[in-house]
Amino acid sequence: MQRMIRLFAVLLVSIVTLLGASAQAQQTIKVAYTDPLSGPFAQVGDANLKQMQYIIDYINDHGGALGKKFELVPFDNKSNPSDALIALKSATDQNMPFIMQCSGSNIAAALIEAINKHNDRNPDNRIIYLNCGAVATELTNEQCSFWHFRFDLHVAMKAEVMVRAIPQDVKKVYLINQDYLFGQSVQRDVKTFLAKNRPDVTVVGDELIPLGKIKDFSPYITKIKASGAQALLTGNWGPDMNLLIKAGIDAGADLRYYTFYAHLAGGPTAIGPAGENKVFAVMSYSENVAPEIGNKEAEAFTLGFRAKHNFDFSAAGFRTIFEYLQAGVNKAGAVDATKIAFAMEGLSLKDYLGFDTTMRKDDHQIISEYFVGVFKKGVKYEAEGTGLGWQTAATILAKDVDQPNTCKMKRPRI
Amino acid sequence: MEVFVVSLLNGLVYGMLLFMLASGLTLILSMMGVLNFAHASAYMLGAYFAYTISLYLGFWVALFLAPILCGFVGAAIEMWGLRRVHKNGHIAELLFTFGLALIIEKGVQMSWGLLPVPYRVPALLDFPLFSIYGTHFPAYRAFMLLISGLMFGAIWLGLTRTRIGLVIQAALTHPEMAGALGHNVPRIFTLVFASGTALAGLAGVIGGNYQVTEPSMAFTMGPIVFVVVVFGGLGSLAGCFIASLLMGLLQTFAVVLDYSLADLLRVFGVVVTSKTPFAEVLTVSLPRVGALLPFILMVLILVFRPRGLMGTREA
């Protein structure tokens, strides 16, 4: 019996080794992707995954990097830092050079810490963290890391854009944010920029809500109405965003909504026609940007996604990430995390819309253009079949979103 | 005043939804002694059945068909599962229903996917019924109140005015005696379990589009329903009703009232500053701990009045 078990174990080990060898032979550049693919935020992770896959296919069709193709390997983290760390372990066990994570700054913080340790201890098996949407300001300031590259503007930059978009006649605002690292970051930064740029505006309410727990926001809307607020400022995302706006629109509250994420999956449906001209989103892209600036190539790229999937291509900006990867890997001349990290910092590219972008060397924070969209009728591409869509109300160029940073970067010795 | 009235309405809607779930559970728990962990799963199944049926036959058909389907699922679980496990005692039953809840969740994930399904309020009811202090009250919420009110009336009449209701009441307190008098107690058990599951299914049909229809909805709703049952007291429909409304109102008003323990202490002349010990805990405002309040109440009632608000037996 014991011999049988031993034989079986030997067999198993050899099969695993063979499988590993065949994976090596395929010669793809693997990018681990970990986000919630189940649980309350599954919708967000799932939409990201499909958009990312479309972009990767596009990049692979346009040469990949060093003659190799990129390959996305998804891991469900259930919005849970510990599950994200398990994904990281699997990724490093398989020698993947990149891990990508978009949703949840608390998860991002855990990943950064774990990657710092891992890369210190395993100089020949390092991994780069591509941050596609965890935007708490701290992550590229106090907690900045050489291995962390952020491809979305951080909260303080977005907050400044948002505060500038608030019209002069709004004097009373209400803040609702999710009770974790990101939401607290929004709460603090929005208040800072309100005090700096709009001292005439008073914050009549300031609230933190439990993440992903609330199913009916009507009580909050009642409270917001009673406070006399003219505008609601929120960094909420996923169901916390969609249900909040839906409750507000259903109750017929006379409010304007300034958001970071109303344009993402499910948002436009939740807003509906009653929200015309009331909802604003600080966004990296909407499908109407390309026709508005007359960029035919970008428009065709967006339409290609629509032909394959029946939802909006709101994350086309992820293409910038893979263009940086492509350029970084080609410049490094090898699929080696340390070399690629050095190649990507300080890199400047024109993005697919034709705007200037830079991966700032000091803190590995991208500096790119950004848009403020307003939800209204009569746009070229409607959102989620609502008949309404996002029209660009303001375009902010990279040089105008730039803010100083406090990062003290520790670089590895080569 | 405005805040009070609107919150009262919202709290009532949520409370009545809780009651629809809890009434079935309290009957099952008090009659069979089974703490049915899979009860909230029936709520989820109701919502998913209704979503699928409404795609083909419309919402109104789903409103009748989905609860009946859930009732059949319940009857099957009782006859072929629970009754066998029953012989091995309460722990086995508890584990059985717990496992069942997990299996149903996985089954739902496999059949309908991980994402929320677009189960929407029917167009006929998708309009503001009236405006109160400038806040619209959606017609669908009034409809929910109506359905749950009708259901409460029906259960109450059924239990107190019909023959079968009287037998159920007898079997609740004295199952052996009822059996000795020639009533088929196991069949009554099946009937109660099936109708309890059907009620949870009905709650799912009208709650699925009021909230969000997703695979985790059972596990978010489950604990609060247990709190209602324990708080209301075993075997008491009236207690269950009061507890449901109380929990609904409590959770709604907790959001609106911006007070903390520090404010309470200030009334007694104690001013909390950042140097006070436990200042962080003392200054947490009520909306941030609102979701915790029902559980605090449950702990308190278990300590000070173990049989619940209007219960006749110890929990």
The rounded distance, in Å, linking the Cα atoms of A89 and B146 is 53
Instruction: Please report, for residues A9, A14, A49, the alpha-carbon distance to residue A1 in angstroms, rounded to integers and kept in the order given.
Output: 12, 20, 46
CA dist., res. A74 & res. A76, Å (int): 7
Give the Cα separation of A24 and A92 in Å (integer).
14
- Which of A42, A209, A266 lies closest to B114 in CB terms? A42
Q: Is A44 an interface residue toward B (CB < 8 Å)?
A: no
A to B CB pairs, distance under 8 Å:
75
The single residue listed with the structure tokens 């059972």 is: B218
Query: Which residues from chain B sit within 8 angstroms of residue A274, using beta carbons?
Result: none
CA distance B240 to chain A (A): 22
**Helices and strands in chain B: count of H runs, count of E runs:** 15, 2
Contact status, residue B143 vs residue B14, Cβ threshold 8 Å:
no
Q: How many residues does chain B have?
A: 315
The CA radius of gyration of chain B, in Å to the nearest whole number, is 21
Under a CB-based contact definition with an 8 Å cutoff, are residues A326 and A64 in contact? yes
- Give the per-residue pLDDT at B55: 92
From the list A216, A243, A251, the residue facing B135 with the nearest CB is: A251
Region at A33 (left for phi over 0; alpha for psi -120 to 50; beta for the rest): beta
Tokens 């599954």, residue located: A42
In whole angstroms, give the CA distance from residue B206 to residue B199.
11
Closest-CA residue in chain B for A208? B288
Contacts of A209 in chain B (CB under 8 A): 287-288
Provide the pLDDT for residue A269.
Answer: 83
> What confidence tier does A15 reach under pLDDT thresholds 50, 70, 90?
low
Cβ-based contacts of B212 with chain A (< 8 Å): 215, 239, 243
Instruction: Give the CA-trace dihedral at A202, A206, A212, A216, to 10 degrees.
Output: -80
| CA A267 to chain centroid | 16
Is 50 exceeded by the pLDDT of residue A80? Answer: yes
Asked if the C-beta of B116 comes within 8 angstroms of chain A's C-beta atoms, the answer is yes
Whether residue A39 and residue B216 make contact (CB cut-off 8 A), yes or no, is yes
Collapsed DSSP state (helix, strand, coil) of residue A228: coil
Q: Is A252 within 8 Å of B135 when comparing Cβ atoms?
A: yes
- Residue B310 is given by DSSP the state T
Dist CA A121 CA A356 (whole Å): 37
pLDDT at residue A89, as a whole number: 95
Closest CB to A40: pick one of B10, B216, B255: B216
Residue A54 CB partners (closer than 8 Å, separation 6+): A304, A305, A308, A309, A313
Strand B135-138 and strand A202-209: the pairing is: unpaired
Question: Can you say how many angstroms the Cα of residue A143 is from the centroid of all Cα atoms in its chain?
Answer: 18
Please report residues of A whose CB lies closer than 8 A to that of B116.
42-43, 239, 266
Report helix angle B59-76 to B185-208, nearest 10: 150
pLDDT range class, residue A23, cuts 50, 70, 90? very low
Q: What is the mean pLDDT of residues A282-304?
A: 92
**Cα dihedral across residues A75, A76, A79, A84: positive or negative:** negative
Tell me what pLDDT residue A17 has. 54
Residues A93-142 have pLDDT tens digits of 999 999 999 998 999 999 999 999 999 999 999 999 999 999 999 999 99
Average pLDDT, chain A: 89
pLDDT score at A11? 56
Using a CB–CB cutoff of 8 Å, tell me whether A310 touches chain B: no
A213 neighbourhood in chain B, CB within 8 Å: 220, 291
* Contacting residues of B for A38, CB less than 8 Å apart: 109, 114, 215
pLDDT at A276 over 60: yes
pLDDT score, position B268: 83
Say if the ipTM goes beyond 0.85: no
pLDDT in tens, A53-65: 999 999 999 988 9
Asked if the Cβ–Cβ distance from B135 to A221 is below 8 Å, we say yes
Contacts of A223 in chain B (CB under 8 A): 3, 255-256
Q: For residues A136 and A155, give the distance between their C-alpha atoms in angstroms, rounded to a whole number.
A: 6
Substitution target from A217, A218, A230 for chain B, most B beta carbons within 10 A = A218
Tokens of B94: 């508890």
Q: Looking at chain A, how many residues does it have?
A: 414
Query: What pLDDT, on the 0 to 100 scale, is given for residue B134?
Result: 76
Contacting residues of B for A37, CB less than 8 Å apart: 114
At residue A20, does pLDDT exceed 60? Answer: no
- Matching residue, tokens 């009532």: B12
How many whole angstroms separate alpha carbon A298 and alpha carbon A28? 26
Query: pLDDT at position B130, please?
Result: 82
Q: What was the pLDDT predicted at A186? A: 94
The position carrying tokens 């911006």 is: B258
Q: What is the pLDDT of residue A16?
A: 53
Q: What is the DSSP string of A294-363?
A: T-HHHHHHHHHHHHH-SS--TTTTHHHHHHHHHHHHHHHTSS-HHHHHHHHTT-EEE-TTS-EEEE-TTT
Residue A318 distance to chain B (closest CA, Å): 22
CB atoms A225 and B134 under 8 Å:
yes
A58, A50 Cβ separation under 8 angstroms = no
Residues of chain B with Cβ-Cβ distance to A43 below 8 Å are 115-116
The answer to whether residue A250 scores a pLDDT higher than 90 is no
Nearest to B7 among A46, A215, A222 (CB): A222
144-163 in chain A: CB under 8 A from chain B = none
Residue A4 has a pLDDT of 59
- In angstroms, the separation between the Cα of residue B185 and the nearest Cα of chain A is 40
Contacts of A21 (CB under 8 A, 6+ apart): none
Give CA–CA dist A314/A318, Å, rounded: 9
Q: Which of A226, A252, A266 sits opposite B128 (nearest CB)?
A: A252
Query: Which residues does B209 contact at the CB level (< 8 Å), separation at least 6?
Result: B47, B119, B120, B121, B140
- Return the percent helix, strand and coil in chain B, to nearest 5: 75, 5, 25
> Does the CB of A254 have a partner CB in chain B at under 8 Å?
yes
Query: Which member of B115, B131, B291 has the closest CB to residue A210?
Result: B291
A218 Cβ under 8 Å from any chain B Cβ: yes
Residue A21 has pLDDT above 50, yes or no: no
User: Which residue's entry shows tokens 């009250």?
Assistant: B137
Cβ neighbours, 10 Å, residue B160: 11
CA–CA separation, A297 and A302 (whole Å): 9
Q: Is B76 within 8 Å of chain A by CB?
A: no
Task: Provide the terminal-to-terminal Cα distance of chain B, rounded to the nearest Å.
Answer: 39
CB contact under 8 A, B2 and A251: no
Average pLDDT over residues A35-51: 87
Provide block-wise average pLDDT over 10 residues at a time, chain B (315 residues): 85 92 86 85 95 93 94 94 86 91 91 81 84 83 92 88 86 81 87 92 91 83 89 84 92 84 81 75 78 87 86 62
Nearest CA in chain B to A39: B216
DSSP string, B157-199: HHHHHSHHHHHHHHHHH-HHHHHHTT--HHHHHHHHHHHHHHH
Q: Is B220 on the interface with A (CB under 8 A)?
A: yes
Q: Which residue of chain A comes nearest to B219, CA vs CA?
A: A39
Determine, for residues B214 and A209 on separate chains, whether the beta-carbon distance falls below 8 Å: no
